[in-house]
Amino acid sequence: MNIRMVLLASAAAFAASTPVLAADAIVAAEPEPVEYVRVCDAYGTGYFYIPGTETCLKIEGYIRFQVNVGEDVGGDSDWDAVTRGQVQFTAKSDTEYGPLTGVIVMQFNADNATDQEAILDSAYLDVAGFRAGLFYSWWDDGLSGETDDIGSVVTLHNSIRYQYESGTFYAGISVDELEDGVYKVGEEANNVGVAVGLGGTAGAFSYQITAGYDVDNEDGAVRAMGTVDIGPGTLGLAGVYSTGPNSYYSTAEWAVAAEYAIKATDKLKITPAVQYYGNYFGGSKVVPDDFDGLGDAWKVGLTVDYQIVDNFYAKASVQYLDPDDGDDSTTGYFRLQRSF
């Protein structure tokens, strides 16, 4: 038998064995079940169900670029560019007490490539009107422009709050930890405060009344704000009074503010505003025992908002402050912000 006959015999034997091999079953692995993300519309737009749970989650935030202008605002420079990124996670689920809400807000600020910080801007839980955690107080609220200065030096506290809400009215009480509030010379900020707030709407009119008592400084403050649609814009008025320097209001003994937010077009809003301070002190955390002997101050400003496209806007603001007991100053900024 020569080589050719050996090769032909081997090929015939292999061909004859092929049906036996083909008869062996090939078992394919079962595909893993895929759980698609479901839209949750029970709490508004943007929510989706966390896979495998009945908890709804919403992710939102913004990217902001801003150039600040003012004397030495950038150290040795009169201008400074800063960038911020903020992300908010909101989780909601139904309970026998109503929706259980949890919120986490992370904020990242960059003055440059090396001077940066990451902070917890808010983190709280909320159910049946009760809220506990790190969140902003009613004293963080203000008029729509950038001129009014009627809030606390620090408005973010660890707090416990109850707030009743109906369709057009709310009222609540809050116990706030004020360990980063204002304090007098020779003392430290490590105290507690109690704040109350109520507000609502009535047609084109909206209002808010806020009060707070600083236990350690033994002084308190009360503030009232209101807005009403008039003509092509919205008129805003506010007034605040403080019995003495305290963590809820220490900028002045009293102040009044007014603005008119003009809706020039669907995309353009122009807001001129003015504020007057009685016995003006300023924004330092180290405060005097009282406001006696301090001079007054006045402030005027202009803020322009322009919506470039949906979720992307530009803002420019300029403010002029003239205190009796100090030098006048002009500050401002230009901002670009994209929200999502």
Sort residue 325 into left (φ over 0), alpha (ψ -120 to 50) or beta.
Answer: alpha
N-to-C CA span, the chain: 82
Per-residue pLDDT, averaged over 71-93, amounts to 95
The four Cα atoms 192, 136, 107, 53 give a dihedral, to 10 degrees, of: 110
**More confident of the two residues 74 and 163:** 163
Percentage of the chain beyond pLDDT 90 is 86
pLDDT of 188 reads: 83
- Nearest-angstrom CA–CA distance, 134 and 277: 30
pLDDT confidence bin for 32, thresholds 50/70/90: low
Q: Residue range 48-59: average pLDDT?
A: 96
Please give the pLDDT value at position 35: 65
User: Average pLDDT, stretch 146-162?
Assistant: 97
pLDDT value at residue 106: 98
Would you give the distance in Å from CA 39 to the centre of its chain? 25
- pLDDT tens for each residue of 196-226: 999 999 999 999 999 999 999 999 999 999 9
Higher pLDDT, 96 or 5: 96
pLDDT at residue 268 above 80?
A: yes
The predicted structure's pLDDT at residue 33: 63
Q: What is the pLDDT of residue 253?
A: 98
Give the pLDDT score at 93: 97
**In the chain, which residues fall in CATH 2.40.160?**
129-306+318-323
Q: How confident is the model at residue 26, as a pLDDT?
A: 66
Question: 3-state SS of 102-147?
Answer: EEEEEEEEECCCCCEEEEEEEEEEEECCEEEEEEECHHHCCCCCCC
Using only C-alpha atoms, what is the Rg of the chain? 31
For residue 160, is pLDDT > 80?
A: yes
Q: Which fold has domain 129-306+318-323?
A: Porin (2.40.160)
Query: 279-330 pLDDT, tens per residue?
Result: 999 999 999 999 999 999 999 999 999 999 999 999 999 999 999 999 999 9
Residue 44 has pLDDT above 70, yes or no: yes
pLDDT of amino acid 20:
46
Backbone phi, psi, residue 189, to 5°: -85, 105
Whole-number pLDDT of residue 124: 98
**Mean per-residue pLDDT, 38-50:** 95
